[in-house]
A and B are shown apart, each in its own frame.
Chain A
């Protein structure tokens, strides 16, 4: 349906200061994609509200005029979630960057959604506190975006993801109503709509004030780095460490392709010690807590790594030393980017015990598609981040890349896992969601959506498979119907 965006712009200008309305073509370009640059769609109009009241006024206006909208934080998402694919108003929170309240006595902080993840820790670090979820984009991504995606990070193995750290949300519903979900306490006698809202990818409304739990900074932190001759041995080390009752803050693994790329990339950088050239896997384990506990855990974990076949285990205790051990992992994507100009970063999850099997299968797929796949992953929770490497410009390569990406996700689902551990479904993976869930499961999720957004104007088209965009799903429905299977009415929409 075509809308009169000039007319809508005039209406919005009556509600907002003029600097809060973006309509110039060149300026709109900045909003045409998120961190997933494969999909680009320039929105017709963007607004930049600064307060809850302004967000509410905009959403009431959208409600009265039947306008769909897409909420957007910093635009660092990796699943296309913050992009207006069909004509919709983009509501960016990048001017909602105030820390509203710091309450160290009760270990919580209230922020506007545009506040950058790492600013939260920066605001309270001087007092010995921090905010635990730390996605790798934490210097750029916003807390509002973290809430929408239920973001994780390297340390979520021990400390959990965003939903474990959000106590309350002030939310503007798609009809412009402002409400509060949850409270300052860990438990509130009400349906946990706060928990249901987190990770809903902008399809239930817009969070305008977010109460976060703070943690006490650990007394001591140690990083272990172990290299292995085979991925199986590295996997065994992970198994032994966790089974022994050691709960590391994070466990990160890199495979041979990453190791080679990192060695090339960091060769000659002061203090960087190259990984052994013949290593098949490098495992980083970060331990934190009370000093003596960390010492005991580091000793135990080192011994278990050696028992599993680690050839060398290094320990770092001082901040600079730790940063050097982490440097390879943190440079992994840049290092691969130097070798291969383009990459497609996937995000799948498998049960930890299935890791070796799935990694071997990914390797076989990589050969079949003649596309290199590098693996960096959160080994502790089975969250894989395969990077499919390619040279753009090769004819048909993008289709091949997408197809390989889908095959890898298929492997994850078949192994009992998930198509996304932390990047969200967005537009990128909505056609795979029905690999995990049947029509009744998806229809049940839509019940929640219909309670919040009966007209489905909030981030339309995201998460759930739609027939228009998911030919495969649509075909399957047709086949099922042709076979005489009775589908619930809702199934038609997928």
Chain B
């Protein structure tokens, strides 16, 4: 359903009166990610309530570096509008955004909506410099399961009045409310940007990554790539580091490039310098452009220092991966043949042994009984369930999909 903004609240109230389960949705580009949503009695698929008609950029204040936007706005539309003022939202396109949407010609739906990005709360490599989705969120408007409209936060970058419902809703996967509007921080577009593609044997890349993380350089991203090139071999040479640098001065940018190149040469690692266009092409590889809609899409996280061990893990054989060197967070994907289910289970165990976690965003279709749970119980599960009951007493929203609560088989 794609209600008009003025119909939305009444519709939600109606659904509440009838206790109908429904799923908050944006453009629907990634609705199948995460645990399956129970459709409710008499339905084969969950009723998705889309914010597609809530697509207005309400207010962009370039001087304040803030933007208020309705959550059905396609991410690409927002970034284009910000770019007109030489600003941007410092977040990656979500995984699966194949074409370069900012340069035009892209499919607007490919990147999904602003609301989808916030509801999933998954950030990419720009986290290295700019932190995550929740760190950009300064205000929120929402519609509760009973149709009550509420807001929290505001339109200023610094604000501690009232509870931080922005963080509560960011990454809540539609389980607590429909997010209708958000206010986000923006940043000036860096005047200069360069990429570096560093490739060579893993044992030579690893010290280089450690050097980069400990150096005084402040790259926007330092991403491990594993088998992201279409023709990447399984053996040596399958790994690379993608580094992106930004600066206000072309001169200091060249100096940083030279500095990294020198270090790479000494380490026996090959360096390819990327102009912004080629950098974007490499970023696309990291979003899985060479393998659209893989059977498996996993979100992995390990403590940053254990990233080496994750990359070396036998369980990863055959899979493609992009992992932030500084955050230990990233995406892993592969076909059903490349990644048998038992290996995904083993990979989850490995991530947990390393002190991290693994979330299954996509898995091959099959009987529910054999499905791998998308996420496991968090230590605070009882509290999470209490929060859920407070916000959604009739358990209408995204039934079966509550982050931190292992979905029932």
A residues touching B (Cβ–Cβ < 8 Å)? 105-107, 149-150, 152, 156, 160-161, 163-164, 173, 177, 179-181, 183-196, 198-200, 216, 218-220, 239, 242-247, 289-293, 295-297, 300, 349-353, 378, 381-383, 416-425, 429, 433, 436-438, 440-445, 447-452, 463, 488
Closest Cβ of chain A: how far from B333's Cβ, in Å?
Answer: 17
- Say yes or no: B386 contacts A451, CB within 8 Å: yes
Assess whether B338 is interfacial by the CB under 8 Å rule: no
From B134, B299, B359, B387, A195 is in contact (CB under 8 Å) with: B134
What chain B residues lie within 8 Å of A429 (beta carbons)? 161
Q: Closest residue of chain A to B191, judged by CB?
A: A245
What chain B residues lie within 8 Å of A291 (beta carbons)? 216
Assess whether B218 is interfacial by the CB under 8 Å rule: yes
What chain A residues lie within 8 Å of B168 (beta carbons)? 191-193, 195-196, 448
Closest Cβ of chain B: how far from A339's Cβ, in Å?
Answer: 28
In the complex the two chains form, what is the Cα distance from A245 to B246 in whole Å?
Answer: 10
- Say yes or no: B170 contacts A195, CB within 8 Å: yes
- Say yes or no: A352 contacts B150, CB within 8 Å: no
The 18 sampled A-B contact pairs (Cβ below 8 Å) are A185-B303, A189-B359, A192-B134, A192-B172, A195-B166, A196-B163, A239-B63, A243-B62, A245-B189, A293-B252, A351-B156, A353-B61, A353-B64, A420-B161, A421-B158, A443-B150, A444-B150, A444-B152
- Say yes or no: B154 contacts A418, CB within 8 Å: yes
Assess whether B276 is interfacial by the CB under 8 Å rule: no
- Say yes or no: A192 contacts B156, CB within 8 Å: no
- Say yes or no: A187 contacts B121, CB within 8 Å: yes
- Say yes or no: B387 contacts A186, CB within 8 Å: no
What chain B residues lie within 8 Å of A292 (beta carbons)? 249, 251-252, 255-256
In the complex the two chains form, what is the Cα distance from A349 to B66 in whole Å?
Answer: 14
Assess whether B159 is interfacial by the CB under 8 Å rule: yes
- Say yes or no: A179 contacts B383, CB within 8 Å: yes
- Say yes or no: A381 contacts B158, CB within 8 Å: yes
Given the known inter-chain contacts A189-B403, A290-B216, please indicate yes or no for A441 contacting B380, CB distance below 8 A.
no
- Say yes or no: B165 contacts A196, CB within 8 Å: yes
In the complex the two chains form, what is the Cα distance from A187 to B162 in whole Å?
Answer: 23
From B189, B217, B328, B403, A191 is in contact (CB under 8 Å) with: B403
- Say yes or no: B327 contacts A186, CB within 8 Å: yes
From A220, A417, A444, B154 is in contact (CB under 8 Å) with: A417
Assess whether B164 is interfacial by the CB under 8 Å rule: yes
Closest Cβ of chain A: how far from B303's Cβ, in Å?
Answer: 5
Closest Cβ of chain B: how far from A185's Cβ, in Å?
Answer: 5
Q: Closest residue of chain B to A195, judged by CB?
A: B167
- Say yes or no: B218 contacts A289, CB within 8 Å: yes
What chain B residues lie within 8 Å of A351 (beta carbons)? 61, 63-64, 66, 155-156
In the complex the two chains form, what is the Cα distance from A383 to B159 in whole Å?
Answer: 9
Closest Cβ of chain A: how far from B156's Cβ, in Å?
Answer: 5
From B61, B134, B176, B188, A245 is in contact (CB under 8 Å) with: B188
Given the known inter-chain contacts A216-B214, A290-B216, A293-B252, please indicate yes or no for A200 contacting B390, CB distance below 8 A.
no
Assess whether B329 is interfacial by the CB under 8 Å rule: yes
Q: Closest residue of chain B to A435, judged by CB?
A: B161
Assess whether B69 is interfacial by the CB under 8 Å rule: no
In the complex the two chains form, what is the Cα distance from A451 to B384 in whole Å?
Answer: 9
- Say yes or no: A190 contacts B403, CB within 8 Å: yes
In the complex the two chains form, what is the Cα distance from A290 to B157 in whole Å?
Answer: 26
Assess whether B247 is interfacial by the CB under 8 Å rule: yes
**Which among A163, A184, A293, A296 has the highest number of chain B CB atoms within 10 Å?**
A293
From B121, B131, B151, B380, A193 is in contact (CB under 8 Å) with: B380
**Which among A195, A378, A443, A448 has the highest number of chain B CB atoms within 10 Å?**
A195
What chain B residues lie within 8 Å of A449 (beta carbons)? 163
Assess whether B95 is interfacial by the CB under 8 Å rule: no
Closest Cβ of chain B: how far from A273's Cβ, in Å?
Answer: 29
In the A-B complex, the 7 residue pairs with the closest CB atoms: A195-B167, A190-B404, A219-B216, A190-B378, A444-B150, A245-B188, A353-B63
- Say yes or no: B162 contacts A441, CB within 8 Å: yes
Given A187-B327, A187-B329, A296-B249, 20 new contacts (CB under 8 A): A107-B304, A183-B357, A185-B303, A190-B375, A190-B403, A196-B163, A243-B63, A245-B190, A289-B216, A290-B218, A296-B247, A296-B248, A349-B156, A349-B158, A353-B63, A418-B158, A420-B159, A436-B161, A444-B152, A445-B163
What chain A residues lie within 8 Å of B151 (beta carbons)? 437-438, 441
What chain B residues lie within 8 Å of A424 (beta carbons)? 160
- Say yes or no: A179 contacts B160, CB within 8 Å: no
In the complex the two chains form, what is the Cα distance from A378 to B158 in whole Å?
Answer: 10
**Which among A187, A188, A352, A424 has the highest number of chain B CB atoms within 10 Å?**
A187
Closest Cβ of chain A: how far from B135's Cβ, in Å?
Answer: 5
In the complex the two chains form, what is the Cα distance from A124 to B80 in whole Å?
Answer: 42
- Say yes or no: B132 contacts A448, CB within 8 Å: no
Closest Cβ of chain B: how far from A340's Cβ, in Å?
Answer: 27
**Which among B132, B150, B376 has the highest number of chain A CB atoms within 10 Å?**
B150
In chain B, positions 136-185 with a C-beta closer than 8 Å to chain A are 142, 144, 148-152, 154-168, 170-172, 175-176
- Say yes or no: B127 contacts A242, CB within 8 Å: no
Q: Closest residue of chain B to A416, judged by CB?
A: B155
- Say yes or no: B255 contacts A188, CB within 8 Å: no
- Say yes or no: B355 contacts A184, CB within 8 Å: yes
In the complex the two chains form, what is the Cα distance from A488 to B328 in whole Å?
Answer: 46
- Say yes or no: A244 contacts B216, CB within 8 Å: no
Given the known inter-chain contacts A163-B167, A191-B387, A192-B168, please indicate yes or no for A382 contacting B150, CB distance below 8 A.
no
What chain A residues lie within 8 Å of B378 (beta carbons)? 188-191
Assess whether B356 is interfacial by the CB under 8 Å rule: yes
- Say yes or no: A451 contacts B248, CB within 8 Å: no
- Say yes or no: B328 contacts A164, CB within 8 Å: no
In the complex the two chains form, what is the Cα distance from A98 to B171 in whole Å?
Answer: 32
From A156, A186, A219, A447, B329 is in contact (CB under 8 Å) with: A186
